[in-house]
Amino acid sequence: MNVLVLSNLYPPDFLGGYELGCRQVVEALRDDGHAVTVLTGNPRQPTPAEPNVLRRLRLADIYEPYLQAITSTTIHAGRYVEANGIQASNVYVLIETLREVDPDVVYIWNTVGLGGVGLMATVQHLGYPWVMHVMDDVPRALCSLPFRVRPEMAAAFARVLRGRYLCCSRTVLREIVAAGFPIAPQAEIIPNWVTAPGTPDRTEWMAEGHLRIVNAGSISTNKGVDVLIRAAGLLRDRGLADFSVDIYGPGNDPQFPNLIRELGLDDHVRLRGLRTQSELAEMYSTYDAFAFPTWEREPFGFAPLEALAHGCLPVISRVCGLSEWLVDGMDCIKAERTAEGFAAAFGDIMQNKVRFHELARRGMQTVLRTFHLSAIYPQIRKALATAANSPREAAGSPEDAYRLALLAERMAYAMVQDSLAA
Amino acid sequence: MDFEFYNVTSPPSGMKRALIPFQRMARRVLRPMLHRLRDLLTLISQKQSETADVVACLQGRLNFLEAQTAKVTSEHKALELDHLALMRRAAHLEELLLQSLAQKSDAAERRIPSLPTLGSVESSNGSFRKAS
């Protein structure tokens, strides 16, 4: 197969698991003998050139907190149009690349920042079959023009864009459908994966009875870092003090160090800063439990799976994307997303009320057998091959597509201007 | 005559004095009605206060039920997700089992030599030859 991958960012420039996952699948496809070209956004920092990775698309970085803080509502709204709706210049680049590569299938990842709706509409207009890998509610984000989903936009999105969707969980699919995108008939659910070989020969947990808890990801209340810190406080107050919590990730929100100080947990909870994925992978086998008190709308989360591959047992929120893949009491522990709930779960581990070693060992085997990319990849390849074999029906020429893009861009700006003036 | 009741400022005199018997009569006639009205209003006030207590109690129960419903909904959601995970795992394991059984039966088929036909005879080296 000849595959064109579209993604807003591509490692080494990345934000999280979405982009890292994209690279892993691209490598798997190449290893399997497929020709893969990646078309992605301009990197946010200098990156070395790579063969078949074209960093040509203009990225409207709406994730940059500094720009979010200093721009006015009007400018911010304009950036949303560029990021989510359409950038005619990116449509032009895409048309040129499609002409160059002439792929059998276009494999779309996160296109927020590139004018994703415009790019997807162009692919559809030119009759290329496409598959979108959904690891977040990207369709909803793309149709937020600006700040909220316009129902007419959502309906048009689902009606016009007739590709296939690979969603990482039913949770994220339901969220997208509930936001007004009836994509379920075109969707297939494929879980996220690990690529690491793990530590299958691990035999030791909780050395000297000390529970070592780790958390990695963005440090925010959405990810439940405050819940974790408060849970640590409750554990210590109950006399179960033989534990430590290490939190890795980016974030400079002062509320978390303040909370640690306020609760007097400096000896137990440490914010350890950002680490690379490979550094974390090396460290997971030195921890016993991975705390994941994330919010309900978490689509999946790569980190707990990666930790489990190294025998670091996830203690996760009962309701989140990952909880529809791991089984409570078999290969993870699920807890109510409260400090009390997580403290109780850790307390049970420390008081040997759960068969921790057994769970960790079984979980590790499950991940390496069921969630390894080698097990997931055939499903991805099949979905791409099915799409590639579907008939091409172009609605118009590349020139038409570009003219429409220019028109749509102007109309989008006019609509946003009108809605802000109203 | 007792004028005390009407003696607000000064004893009535003249025409006002002539009105007093009528006023007294009106008072006699109206008094039981006013008493009844007072009783009714008191009763209504009591009932209103009782109703307010009942409403507060019901509001408390409603809040409790809402909290319980939210908890049960959340637990139901958690159970649903856990069940889904379990079903997916069972399906995956079943698939692996079937694959493994299929592989095993292929291997077994390869190992079993073709069955001798009726009338064949085993030779001294273990091979079969057609009986003469």
Residues in chain A closer than 8 A to B89 (CB atoms): 327, 330, 366, 370
Query: Does residue A364 contact residue A311 with C-beta atoms inside 8 Å?
Result: yes
Q: Which of the residues A172, A316, A328 would you substitute to probe the B interface, choosing the one with the greatest number of B C-beta atoms within 10 Å? A: A328
For residue B132, the model assigns a pLDDT of 46
Name the residue of chain A whose CA is nearest to B73's CA.
A319
Contacts of A283 (CB under 8 A, 6+ apart): A214, A275
- Residues A226, A170 within the same domain: no
- Residues A345, A411 within the same domain: no
pLDDT band at B116 (very low <50, low <70, confident <90, very high): low
d(CA B17, CA B3): 9
Q: What is the mean pLDDT of chain A?
A: 91
d(CA A380, CA A100): 24
The verdict on residue A202 lying in a domain is: no
CB-based contact A326 B78, cutoff 8 Å = no
pLDDT band at B123 (very low <50, low <70, confident <90, very high): low
What are the structure tokens assigned to B94, written together? 């079943």
pLDDT higher than 80, residue B53: yes
Residues in chain B closer than 8 A to A327 (CB atoms): 82, 85-86, 89
d(CA A287, CA A315): 13
Residue A14 neighbours by CB distance under 10 Å = 19
The verdict on residue B91 lying in a domain is: yes
Predicted confidence (pLDDT) per residue in A142-161, tens digit: 888 767 777 888 888 888 88
Query: Does residue A337 contact residue A293 with C-beta atoms inside 8 Å?
Result: yes
- Residues A215, A290 within the same domain: yes
Task: Give the rounded percent of residues in chain A with a pLDDT score beyond 70.
Answer: 99
d(CA A24, CA B102): 31
> A59-68, A192-201, A250-259, A377-386 — which is least confidently predicted?
A59-68
CB-based contact B81 A319, cutoff 8 Å = yes
> A149-158, A269-278, A284-293, A383-392 — which is least confidently predicted?
A149-158
Instruction: Pinpoint the alpha helices (H) of A32-160.
Output: 65-70, 73-80, 88-101, 116-125, 138-142, 151-160
In the listed set A348, A371, A394, which residue is the last one of a domain according to the structure?
A: A371
The verdict on residue A172 lying in a domain is: yes
Predicted confidence (pLDDT) per residue in B83-106, tens digit: 999 999 999 999 989 999 998 888
User: Of A190, A98, A180, nearest to A142 (Cα)?
Assistant: A180
d(CA B51, CA B55): 6
For residue A419, the model assigns a pLDDT of 75
Q: Using CB atoms, which residue from B74, B78, B85 is nearest to A325?
A: B85
Instruction: Pinpoint the alpha helices (H) of A206-276.
Output: 225-237, 255-262
Q: Using CB atoms, which residue from A319, A328, A369 is nearest to B77?
A: A319
Contacts of B3 (CB under 8 A, 6+ apart): B11, B12, B20
Name the residue of chain A whose CA is nearest to B86's CA.
A327
Query: Does residue A268 contact residue A251 with C-beta atoms inside 8 Å?
Result: no
- Residues A130, A219 within the same domain: no
For residue A418, the model assigns a pLDDT of 79
Predicted confidence (pLDDT) per residue in A101-138, tens digit: 999 999 999 999 999 999 999 999 999 999 999 999 99
For residue B14, the model assigns a pLDDT of 80
pLDDT band at B126 (very low <50, low <70, confident <90, very high): low
- Residues A272, A158 within the same domain: no
Enumerate residues 44 to 73 of chain B having a beta carbon within 8 A of any beta carbon in chain A.
none
Predicted confidence (pLDDT) per residue in A77-104, tens digit: 888 888 888 999 999 999 999 999 999 9
- Residues A123, A184 within the same domain: yes
Predicted confidence (pLDDT) per residue in A237-282, tens digit: 999 999 999 999 987 789 999 999 999 999 999 999 989 888 999 9
> A57-61, A380-384, A397-401, B17-21 — which is least confidently predicted?
B17-21
Q: Using CB atoms, which residue from A323, A336, A369 is nearest to B85?
A: A323
Predicted confidence (pLDDT) per residue in A337-367, tens digit: 999 999 999 999 999 999 999 999 999 999 9
Residue A315's DSSP bridge partners are A291, A333
Residues in chain B closer than 8 A to A336 (CB atoms): 74
- CATH of residue A16's domain is 3.40.50.2000
- Residues A141, A270 within the same domain: no
The residue range of the domain holding A53 is 2-193+375-421
CA A203 to chain centre: 31
CA A413 to chain centre: 29
Domains held by chain A: number: 2
CB-based contact A327 B92, cutoff 8 Å = no
B118 vs A258, residue with greater confidence: A258
pLDDT band at B120 (very low <50, low <70, confident <90, very high): low
Enumerate residues 318 to 337 of chain A having a beta carbon within 8 A of any beta carbon in chain B.
318-319, 323-328, 330, 334, 336
User: Of A186, A61, A173, nearest to A120 (Cα)?
Assistant: A186
Query: Does residue A245 contact residue A270 with C-beta atoms inside 8 Å?
Result: yes
Task: Assess B77–A contact: CB distance below 8 Å, yes or no.
Answer: yes
pLDDT higher than 60, residue B80: yes
- Residues A172, A298 within the same domain: no
Residues in chain B closer than 8 A to A324 (CB atoms): 81, 84-85, 88
CB-based contact A327 B74, cutoff 8 Å = no
pLDDT higher than 90, residue B10: no
d(CA A24, CA A16): 13
Residue A245's DSSP bridge partners are A213, A269
Map residue B112 onto helix, strand or coil.
coil
- In the A/B pair of chains, how many CB contacts fall below 8 A? 37
CB-based contact B85 A336, cutoff 8 Å = no
- DSSP strand pairing (B128-130 vs B120-122): antiparallel
Q: What is the pTM of this model?
A: 0.82
User: Of A339, A299, A297, nearest to A315 (Cα)?
Assistant: A339
pLDDT band at B112 (very low <50, low <70, confident <90, very high): low
Domains held by chain B: number: 1
What are the structure tokens assigned to A287, written together? 């921890």
CB-based contact B88 A325, cutoff 8 Å = yes
- Residues A8, A151 within the same domain: yes
For residue B122, the model assigns a pLDDT of 53
The residue range of the domain holding B57 is 4-108
Q: What is the ipTM of this complex?
A: 0.84
